[in-house]
Every structure is written in C-alpha cells, then in structure tokens.
Structure 1
Amino acid sequence: MSGSLLTLRSAGHCSPAFEAVRAAFEHNLVHGGELGASLAVEIDGECVVDLWGGWADVEGGKPWQRDTLSVVFSNTKPATALCIHLLAEAGELDVDLPVARYWPAFAAAGKDAITPRMLLDHSAGLPALRERLPDGAAFDWDFMVERLEREAPFWAPGTRVGYHALTYGWLLGELVRRIGGCSLGEFFRRKVAQPLGLDFWIGLPNSEESRVATIVPPAATSVPRNAFERALLEEPQSPTALYMKNTGGWRPSGFNSRAGHAAELGAAGGITNARSLARLYGTLACGGLRGGFRLLREDTLAKATAVSSATHDDACLRVPTRFAAGFMRQMDNRARGLDSACFGRDAFGHVGAGGSLAFASPSRRLGFGYTMNRMGPGVLLNERADRLVQAVYEAVDGASHAL
C-alpha cells in the first residue's frame, strides 16, 4: 500500500452496524486535519470498533500501528482520580476531610481546609504556580510537591471553579504516594491497568518508548478569539496564563521528550491508546465490573461521577464547566458560541488537550476512546471528536442523536 493510501484508510475492525463510524474516522483522516489517530468503542464489554490510521510521526514515515501509543493529556486525570477513589473505598482516605490530615505540610499558606474532593473537582484554588518554574521542574516530583506546599490558593477554597490542568497530578498523586505506599504510576499499574489488561501508563517504561506517536502542538495565535486567548495574551499573572506558560518544561517540549514520557504526570502525562481507554470506560459503563474483577463498587462509582462543581466562567478555561470528582460531565456551551464537550447527558469522562476524548455512557453500557497526535484548537472538543461521537450514537441509537 502506498504512503498516500495509508493516510486515507483505517486499519482494524468494525462491526457491521458501525460502518458509519469507520466512515467518520476516515473522513477525519482525509478531510479533518488528522495526522494519526485511534478509535475504539465497547458495548456491554464487547469491542465493536477498534480502528487506527494515519501517521505516528510528522514526516509521514511511520504509520500508526495497532499498538501505537500517544500522550492523552488530561485523559490522565480520571486515571489518577480512580486511584483516589480506590483508597477511599478501602477506608484509607476520606475525600471530604482536609488533605492536611494525610499530608500535614500541605496546610501552609491557607490550605488547611482544602479537601481531596476540592482537588478532584477543581475548586481548591491551586490551578497554577505563581513563581517561575525552572526547566525540568515538571519532571522532579519532590520539587513540585514542595512548591505546592508553599503555594497560596488563588481564591478561597471551595468558592470558585478553575481547571487544575497540571497541578492536579502532583496534588492527588502525592496523596496516593503517602497513603498507598508507592508512586502514583505504580499504584495505577497494580490496581487498575494490570487487572483490566490496559496498555495505559502514567510513567512510561523505556522499553515502550518506540511505540509513542509524536505530538504536534496547535498553531499559535496572535489575535485572541475568546476570553481564554485574551487572558493568555493580555493577563500574564492570571491563572489561565500561568497554567499554560509556567509548566516547568512540560509545555510544549516535554510532550515528545523521554523525560516527559517517563515522568508520572498524573494530570496530563498519561500514555495509552483508544482501545485501552474504551476498555477502561467500558468497565465503568458496566458498573465497574469486568469478568470476575470489580474495579469499584457501584455506589463508589455513582458518588465519583455525580456532578460536584459547576460554573458559568471557569477561572482558567474561561468557559462554563461541570465536573464530577475526577471526571468531566457534559459541557454544552453551543448556545453561547463557546467551546463545548458534548458526549452524552448521562455520560462521564474527560477530554484531553488538542481534542482526544474518552467516556462512559452507562445507559448504553458504552465505553468510548479516541486519541490523536495532531492537536486541534480550543480548550475542549473540536469537530473531529464531535463527528466520531455523533456517528457512534447514531449507530447505537439508530437515529440522529441530540447531544
């Protein structure tokens, strides 16, 4: 097959009822600006869509393969949150007691009342760090933990919602380390990834590095199109600008570095593919049970996925947002002409920077995963993921689905 044809066609399998989903995936490859991507869907624990295509590198010399992995950015956050909920279910942590109960030094600078729930639902007031981080800081766990211990909240904890894009991983990951007795990545591997058979890493071993696709950042803009971009350009001390620019070497050079892949960045550094995301969310869509393994009890899962915080103006993303304790819920801002994340009213999941998406729809017992390596514009979803979600729901429901 010639190189040009590789970019036009997908590989993998698709159940007959989901051929329109394959067509939508291939439309993205041909007309939607996709470089390389993977897409998977589970229904009732069965994989009905498992597709991949395009390129894993910018030069077009490395086709996206069945086992290609990619950085999924904030699709890592639910994986980290699951570790917290596992500790809570075991009685080792209470998400509504102060973080300082488990991590005493965290109480400094007015953080004594912050709870794990506030960290999980982005209301803690710690979305960024004010003091400039040196290059490489993002890959030094102890350094970042010490800096967060000294940081004062941007607002009174619990009174406002602002997306904790990077700090989320160190804040919750340190709780996992202190209570779980091992690093976040190791805890996730033992308790979630291995039992479910996921090719999903928070801290990638060097042995897997050759499988990782190259991330292509979105084009920079010099003319702000919305409140988010205005804050980036005009408000350098705002939480928005600080979380995007003061990243200690993660953005953007860390996306494709060995140091970035190896670091256990529980907010944005997870590396996986659509198949594993669909398997994870397919398990959650079926109440947390797969075969003889129970990931979480149904009551724990219900509490974890209930809306916990919401705002008309997220202090960082500058759009209306709705969060559960570690998951996004549907964010339909289309009536206001703002970025949206429409993936089903009953669904819970997460978007990743540039447009990747994973979610569970319990009413359909459906798990969905989509990863890609060319990042798109905006802070939530773009038309590539929207097209795939619509095609999946139309295949499942048999008619056009109003998301």
Structure 2
Amino acid sequence: MLNEGVLARGKPASISGFCAPGFRHVLSHQCGMCFNDSAQTDDVFDFEAMRNALTEQKLPWPPGTQPAYNTTNIGYLLATIILNVTGQSVVEFLKAEVCGPLDVAFYLGVPPKLLDKVATLYPADTVNEQYQRGQTPGSNIYRAWNAMPKPWDVDVINSAKVRTAFLPSFGGHGTARGQATVYALLANHGELNGVRLLSSAAVTQAQTLQWEAEDAILNRPLRMALGFFKNKPGWVPMGPNPDAFGHFGSGGTLAFADPDACLSFACQSNFQCGGQSVGDRTEALVEAVYKSPPAMG
C-alpha cells in the first residue's frame, strides 16, 4: 500500500473506534498497542473480539516513544488496516499482491486437506526463555499474550484448531523456499524473475532503520525497520552486512534479505531451539551461507 501511495507512513492507521497512531508506528512496533487487557483467553481465534479489545485498549505510552515488539496484536492491527483501506481481507490481499504473482504457497489457516503436509513441532531440549516468560505473570510478554491459549506450548501449536485458524499475527504456514522467494524479491530491490511488486524506493523505505534499543516486550536488544528487523548479530543474525533485514520466528525460524549481497535466506525448523535468540543451529547455517562460494547463474 505504501508502494502504491494508498497509505502514507505518517497517516493515522485506520482502526474503527480508536484514535490511532501513525502507520509508521504500527510497522515499526512503536504504536503502543501491544496489550489487549480486555480480551479473554483464546480470543486470538475470534477476529472481532480482538478488534474490540484493541478498540478499548489504553496506550501504556505515547506512540513513537517506546519500542515494543507487538507479539500478539500486530497481525490484527494490520489486517484491520488492510480491510479498511482496500476492502480486502489480509488473505485476499496477500494472494493478490504477493503470493499469487510469486507463485508462493502461504496459508493463514491451513486447508484441512493439507493438514498432513504440516510438520510436527517438537519442544527444545533446553529452556526457551521467551516461552518461559510468556507463562510468568507480571512480565510484559505475559500481559501481551493475554488473549492466547493457556498454556501456549507445542501441543497446542500442533493442534488442528491452531493450524486451521485465522491467526494473522503468528499463524502463517508456508515453506522455507516460499519465504526465500519473497525475500529474494526484496534483496533484488522489488523485482524477481520479471515480476515487480515494489519500487526500489519502497524497498529502501521498508529497510530504513527506525530504532535500535532494548524493546519492552521481549527484553532483547533489537534493530527495527518498517515491518522488518535489521541485522543484529547475536540476537537476529543476518550475516556480515548491517543493512540485511528480515524476521525471526519461534524456536529458530529466520528469513531475511541482504541487498548488499543480493542474497535471500530462509530457515524453518520443527525442532525448537532453547535460549532467547535463533539458536546455534540457525546461526551456523547463516555463517555457512556467507562462507560458501556464490552460485553461478
């Protein structure tokens, strides 16, 4: 939408009933809408309940003043903005604007006939610090996970209820190859195999650093662009180039674009890592990619 000029970064995000922060603050995880205090357990499965909770939520700090990774609410915020601005659901929007043109399979709600294709997730053999804090009353991440199932563990994540649900913040299912394809387009300044989805200027905007600090939810030192994390060795490792940008996920999942190297990377693992970062395994894969000779086209 930024690429097509539909929504300016500074324009208030269009969320019915809420005096919203700027769209830039939503994308950069500085909007302050990281809690959903009036929601109930399992409300993440109810899109309207989440929208109502966000409408009622009081901001803990003014927009733009506190970096806070928006673990639970970000997808509901963006899905609402997309719906209000374009009239499309986020599923329709992604299919038309990203997945269809790039021939990438990605699901926000796996069709029942494809459930047997989904890998089983296995817990880490050491403590996953993020999950541990998410189950600890009094922490900001516990508060942010208010609407999540309890407990939130691999047994719940592996359930058909979660896999088939519309969970726009964290319920996406796809392949590492599909992720790498999307990031290859970003690494190539918005074009891939003759398909241009973004202008080079839009990609530059998206990867521009917005803040570098310890965030208030994960308590990690992070670098954030517009919707993407920036390279942060030791926490979100994306090789040697500081302008690499992408996103980490649960238990060691990582995908990113490195325009300086014209490279994209995606790793998905169904065996969770412990600790608080992406884990030694994923970090070693990133290092190995950059040590490998470039592929000859």
Output the TM-score relative to the length of structure 1: 0.67
Residue in 1 that maps onto 2:284: 387
Residue in 2 that maps onto 1:118: 25
| Residue pair 1:138, 1:249 contacting (<8 A) in 2 also | no
Counterparts of 1:183 and 1:258, CA distance in 2: 22
Residue in 2 that maps onto 1:310: 212
2:225 pairs, out of 312, 318, 324, with 324
Note the residue ranges of structure 2 that are not aligned, 5 or more in a row.
none
Structure number with the higher helix fraction is 1
Note the residue ranges of structure 1 that are not aligned, 5 or more in a row.
1-86, 335-339, 399-403
Identity of aligned residues (%): 30
Q: What letter is aligned with 2:17?
A: A
Question: Are positions 1:295 and 2:171 aligned together?
Answer: no
Residue-by-residue CA offset, 1:72-109 (whole Å, 9 max, x unaligned): xxxxxxxxxxxxxxx1222221221111xx334122xx
| Residue pair 2:44, 2:147 contacting (<8 A) in 1 also | no
Residue in 2 that maps onto 1:127: 34
Residue in 2 that maps onto 1:29: none
Residue in 1 that maps onto 2:271: 374
Counterparts of 1:386 and 1:218, CA distance in 2: 16
Residue-by-residue CA offset, 1:241-286 (whole Å, 9 max, x unaligned): 2234641469235412223223332321111111111111111111
SS at match of 1:146: helix
Counterparts of 1:162 and 1:369, CA distance in 2: 24
| Residue pair 1:127, 1:239 contacting (<8 A) in 2 also | no
Question: Are positions 1:166 and 2:166 aligned together?
Answer: no
Q: Which moved more, 1:365-374 or 1:201-210?
A: 201-210
How much does 1:198 deviate? 0.8
Query: After the TM superposition, which residues 36-115 of structure 1 pair with which residues of structure 2 at under 5 Å, given as runs?
Result: 87-99=1-13, 102-107=14-19, 112=20, 114-115=21-22
Residue in 2 that maps onto 1:256: 158
Assess, with a 3 A threshold, how the Cα gap between structure 1 residues 200 and 242 changes in structure 2: closer, same or farther: same
- Which of these two proteins has the greater Rg computed from alpha carbons? 1
Residue-by-residue CA offset, 1:136-182 (whole Å, 9 max, x unaligned): x1111111111111111122211010110111000111111122222
Q: Which moved more, 1:286-295 or 1:211-220?
A: 211-220
Assess, with a 3 A threshold, how the Cα gap between structure 1 residues 250 and 259 changes in structure 2: closer, same or farther: farther
Q: What letter is aligned with 2:18?
A: F
Counterparts of 1:250 and 1:229, CA distance in 2: 10
Assess, with a 3 A threshold, how the Cα gap between structure 1 residues 294 and 134 changes in structure 2: closer, same or farther: same
How much does 1:287 deviate? 1.1
SS at match of 2:79: helix
Question: Are positions 1:157 and 2:63 aligned together?
Answer: yes
| Residue pair 1:307, 1:324 contacting (<8 A) in 2 also | yes
Counterparts of 2:147 and 2:138, CA distance in 1: 10
**Higher RCO, 1 or 2 (CA under 8 Å, sep at least 6)?**
1
